[in-house]
Structure 1
Amino acid sequence: MGKKIKLGILGGGGDSLIGILHRVASAMFDKYELVGGAFNIELQESIDFAEEIGIGTERIYKDLDTLIAKEKSLPEGERMQVISVLTPNFLHFSMAKKLLENGFHVICEKPMTTTYEEAKILKKTQEKSGSIFAVTYTYTGYPMVRQMKEMVASGAIGDIQKIDVQYYQGWINPIIHNKEERSSIWRLDPEKSGISCCIGDIGTHAFDMIEYVSGLQVKEILADLNYMYEDNAMDIDGTVLLRFSEYVKGVLRSSQIATGEENNFSVKIYGKNGGLKWEQENPNYLYLLKEGEPMQTLKPGHEYNSAFSLDGTKLPPGHPEGIFDSMGNIYKGVAKAINGEKIYDGEFPTLEDGLRGMNFIEKTVHSHQQGNVWVKIDD
């Protein structure tokens, strides 16, 4: 086995769900070694957390500037090579930009930035640096999502006619109806979260998924968002009509007030000769529909799947794989890119995906604010 890639993490300390997801994912294929970072705002909390998860504290830093200065003072072969940015949204841009400018590879949580303009600046910075940049649209790492992508591309369902994607959660419902509570969480604070909550948080996952599995780009959108209360500045629910072309259209439904829902993310693509359906809460099943034929169920690990799907499958057929595995596949793809290995098209979401995600978020809010009108998505 080759030398492991040295990984640093910003944020993700304490009981952060996203923190443990990234740490487990990075360890999954023995490609990375977590060597330090800045897990919390308070240095002592970061040190305590490092001790708790069993890594040395000599490379735990009080802030990003200290991390960059100290790491760049080390011999090149000992430095952190890639940094994962797991902080709240408003810190993504400044941190990622500074890391790129100093020669680090970056794995960034979504949304990549808080504005489309920031995303365009980041794109130019990355092009100049030559660094690898991944945005963790996690669900693209599922083996059966990758199988879906390959089947669409191979013409298994014919020319696409209709796309329907839904991402429903209910976690904001008990918060939004309490004025004090809804004023206290960062996801409903525009200063920390950006211009959108629901679309920015989970709608962007749905948007990326649509373009990923279909191979098409959304050209125009019409959005209708719900803010629930006049004093709430952030959308918590929305429906977006999509135009891919004159004859290919779709709908994106996203909600965080779908009472009782946990993480109900599903994507359906219908073509001239068949359809494909996938649901995140049952990720091992990809359903193939054909006119006049029984529905087929495809599962991971079988030889009938594509090489890309099998490359992301770690267990024999019948053994469930989950979100840790999906994120692990993204980290694996980034490692292959850093090491100069051959990668499949779509092994990890790129900065370009993050850029389009920010474009979508802003255009969705703009469409709603202008009275639910059609607006163009930039090429």
Structure 2
Amino acid sequence: MPKKIRLGILGGGGDSLIGVLHRVASFINDNYEITGAVFNPDHEQSLAFAREIDVPTDRIYKDFDTFVAEEMKLPAEERIQVVSVLTPNFLHFPMAHKLLENGFHVICEKPMTTTLEEAKQLQAAQEKSGSIFGLTHTYTGYPMTRQIRKMIEGGMLGNIQKVDAKYYQGWINDLIHDKEKRTTTWRLDPAKSGASCCNGDIGVHAFNMIEFTTGLRINDILCDMNSLYDDNPMDIDATTLVRFDGSKAKGVIRASQIATGEENNLSIAIYGDKGGIKWEQENPNFVYYFPESGPMQVYKPGHAYNSELSLNGTKLPPGHPEGIFDAMANIYLGVAKAVRGEAYDAGEFPTMTDGVRGMDFIEKSVASNQQGNIWVSLES
């Protein structure tokens, strides 16, 4: 087996959910070894966290610029190869851009940047560098969302007619109704979060899931957002109508962070002229298929009837649930294949293209809302 890929991490220290998700995911398929990091802006805290998780401290750098400078002094065979960017949104672009300029491969949290213009600049930097870039739309890593992609590719739904994607959470209730909290949290600060909170954070996942599973490209959108309070410039609820390029299908993206009592309710329903299909993130091991003529069928991971893409992302025998760590691990696995020059399916990890598309969706949804809820077109 090839030697493990040397992995660097930016952010994700302490009790960060995203940090533990990425670290565990990198370990699952035995492809990566955490070699260096800046876990925290405070160097002492970063060192303490490295000792806590048993990562050697000799390459725990005081800041990002030092990370790059010191790694570039090392011979290529010792240098960190892939860097995971797990910082708040406003740091994604400057960090990823500098990493690509210096030849590192990058795995980046979404949204990829805070503006579409930054996304285009990042795309140009990647094209110049030739580095691999993976974007962690985690839910594309589930075996059964990959199965949906292949079922639709195989014509099991026929011509798509209707798509309904929903992502409901209730977590922001604790912040939005408290004036001090809603004016001090970075999630509701456009300078740090970008132009959109709800669609930028979770609506873009639903957008990505539609394009990932159906193979259709969303061409036009009409968005209606809610911010609840006059002193809150950010959306915390959004409904977006969508039209597709080259298709008569229509769709809707429903996203909310004030859906009281909801936890992480991402779901998608897709209806064609031959059948329909449904999937829910909180119950991710079941795909419900409704053929036009015949009883409902339930697909589960690990069975031989599933596609190669689904089975390649399945680590356990049937009946053993695959979860969010496994989904993220499948994205890391796809990036590892690309870094090593191995063959991989285009559905194994989201790319720079998905990041640019996502930023276009976010900016155009804000524009649609601000201009009086009108139809606007995404870039081709």
Partner deviation per Cα, 1:201-232 (whole Å, 9 max, x = no partner):
00111101100000000010000000000000
Matched residue of 1:84: which SS? strand
Matched residue of 2:338: which SS? helix
Name the CA distance, whole Å, in 2 between partners of 1:202 and 1:329: 20
Name the counterpart of 2:376: 375
Partner deviation per Cα, 1:131-152 (whole Å, 9 max, x = no partner):
0001100000000000000000
Residue identity matched to 1:231? D
Name the counterpart of 2:67: 67
Residue identity matched to 1:85? V
Name the CA distance, whole Å, in 2 between partners of 1:300 and 1:5: 28
Partner deviation per Cα, 1:231-281 (whole Å, 9 max, x = no partner):
001100000000014621100000000000000000111000001110000
Name the counterpart of 1:358: 359
Name the CA distance, whole Å, in 1 between partners of 2:247 and 2:359: 24
Report sequence identity in percent: 66
Name the CA distance, whole Å, in 2 between partners of 1:360 and 1:119: 12
Q: Does 1:195 align with 2:195?
A: yes
Name the counterpart of 1:109: 109
Equivalences for 1:318-333 in 2 at 5 Å? 318-333=319-334
Gaps in structure 1 of 5+ consecutive residues: none
Name the CA distance, whole Å, in 2 between partners of 1:29 and 1:350: 20
Give the drift of 1:174.
2.2
Name the counterpart of 1:230: 230
Name the counterpart of 2:152: 152
Matched residue of 2:3: which SS? coil
Partner deviation per Cα, 1:69-124 (whole Å, 9 max, x = no partner):
11111111011001000000000000000000000000000000000000000000
Residue identity matched to 2:237? D
Name the CA distance, whole Å, in 1 between partners of 2:119 and 2:74: 30
Contact 2:222 2:241 in 1 (8 A): yes
Give the drift of 1:292.
4.1
Gaps in structure 2 of 5+ consecutive residues: none
Residue identity matched to 1:186? W
Name the CA distance, whole Å, in 2 between partners of 1:69 and 1:291: 60
Equivalences for 1:80-159 in 2 at 5 Å? 80-159=80-159
Residue identity matched to 1:314? K
Q: TM-score, normalised by structure 1?
A: 0.99
Contact 2:35 2:59 in 1 (8 A): yes
Assess, with a 3 A threshold, how the Cα gap between structure 1 residues 328 and 246 changes in structure 2: closer, same or farther: closer
Residue identity matched to 2:93? F
Residue identity matched to 1:178? D
Name the counterpart of 1:284: 285
Name the CA distance, whole Å, in 1 between partners of 2:372 and 2:69: 49
Partner deviation per Cα, 1:143-172 (whole Å, 9 max, x = no partner):
000000000011011010110000000000
Q: TM-score, normalised by structure 2?
A: 0.99
Alignment size in residue pairs: 379
Name the counterpart of 2:307: 306
Equivalences for 1:167-178 in 2 at 5 Å? 167-178=167-178
The structure 1 segments of at least 4 consecutive aligned residues displaced by more than 3 Å after TM superposition are none
Q: What root-mean-square deviation, in Å, do the aligned CA atoms of Structure 1 and Structure 2 show?
A: 0.7
Matched residue of 1:22: which SS? helix
Name the counterpart of 2:257: 256
Name the CA distance, whole Å, in 1 between partners of 2:122 and 2:292: 46
Name the CA distance, whole Å, in 2 between partners of 1:289 and 1:274: 5
Equivalences for 1:29-48 in 2 at 5 Å? 29-48=29-48
Name the counterpart of 1:315: 316
Residue identity matched to 2:181? E
Give the drift of 1:181.
1.4
Residue identity matched to 1:281? E
Residue identity matched to 1:130? G
Name the CA distance, whole Å, in 2 between partners of 1:222 and 1:112: 22
Equivalences for 1:1-80 in 2 at 5 Å? 1-80=1-80
Give the drift of 1:183.
1.5
Give the drift of 1:291.
2.6
Name the CA distance, whole Å, in 1 between partners of 2:207 and 2:147: 18
Q: Does 1:294 align with 2:288?
A: no
Name the CA distance, whole Å, in 1 between partners of 2:312 and 2:300: 14
Give the drift of 1:63.
1.1
Give the drift of 1:284.
0.2
Name the CA distance, whole Å, in 1 between partners of 2:59 and 2:231: 43
Give the drift of 1:187.
0.4
Name the counterpart of 2:347: 346
Name the counterpart of 2:241: 241
